[in-house]
Amino acid sequence: MKGYIQIITGDGKGKTTSAIGLAVLTVGAGGKVFIGQFLKSGDYSEINAFKKMGTQITVEQYGLGRFVKGHPTTDDIEAGMKGYRRVKKVIEKGGHDLVILDEGNLAVKYNIFSEQNLLDLFEKKPDHVEIVVTGRDASPLVIDRADVVLEMKAVKHYLQKGVKARAGIEK
């Protein structure tokens, strides 16, 4: 089966959740999934769920748990580049049917790795591998290169009223 490039972006909730849904579908169809989470570190509900699902989904985090917006430190960039190099090897090897770069768009925005680095991953993709990149602020060149672009739009959400993120729903 041919793999495509999907971008899930926008200011609304559900980008990572949508990618996780694709991961579940891939495993359900007998495939193997690799998820690289950029700018994230720590315990998220999806990681706990994947541990219960077995070895068909691998999740690695390349964040230090202290940088979400603003200017990355040298350590943040080193962690992200380590992740970029790892994801590049995973894609080139072709052993996974779906590779997700969670918050990959923000990693580009904050210069953790370059837009050209991300475009290079698309070029190195074996034909059968599906790549999904999530995160706000996808660049125009990345959007242009993608086969599918979904934009999550925030219309109304209780988080805007100060409700804290809830385990199993937002985190």
Lowest mean pLDDT among 12-16, 24-28, 39-43, 85-89: 39-43
Kindly state the tokens that stand for 81.
């580049």
pLDDT value of residue 45: 77
Residue 95 CA from chain centroid, whole number: 18
pLDDT value of residue 119: 98
pLDDT value of residue 155: 87
Identify the residue with better confidence: 54 or 80: 80
pLDDT value of residue 156: 86
* 110/67 Cα distance (integer angstroms): 10
pLDDT value of residue 67: 59
* 34/66 Cα distance (integer angstroms): 24
Q: pLDDT by residue (tens digit) across 23-77?
A: 999 999 999 999 999 988 877 777 778 877 777 899 999 988 765 567 888 999 9
Lowest mean pLDDT among 63-72, 99-108, 128-137: 63-72
* 14/161 Cα distance (integer angstroms): 18
Across all residues in the chain, what is the average pLDDT? 91
Q: For the domain 5-161, what is the CATH superfamily, name and number?
A: P-loop containing nucleotide triphosphate hydrolases (3.40.50.300)
Task: Extract the runs of DSSP E, i.e. beta strands, from the chain.
Answer: 5-10, 33-38, 57-62, 98-102, 130-134, 148-152
Its pTM stands at 0.92
The DSSP code for 160 is G
Q: If pLDDT is split at 50, 70 and 90, which confidence band does 17 have?
A: very high
Q: pLDDT by residue (tens digit) across 151-161?
A: 999 888 887 78
* Whether the Cβ atoms of residue 56 and residue 27 lie closer than 8 Å to each other: yes
CA angle 139–81–74, rounded 5-degree value:
100
pLDDT value of residue 51: 79
Closest listed residue to residue 20, CA positions, set 40, 3, 38, 35:
35
* Whether the Cβ atoms of residue 150 and residue 8 lie closer than 8 Å to each other: yes
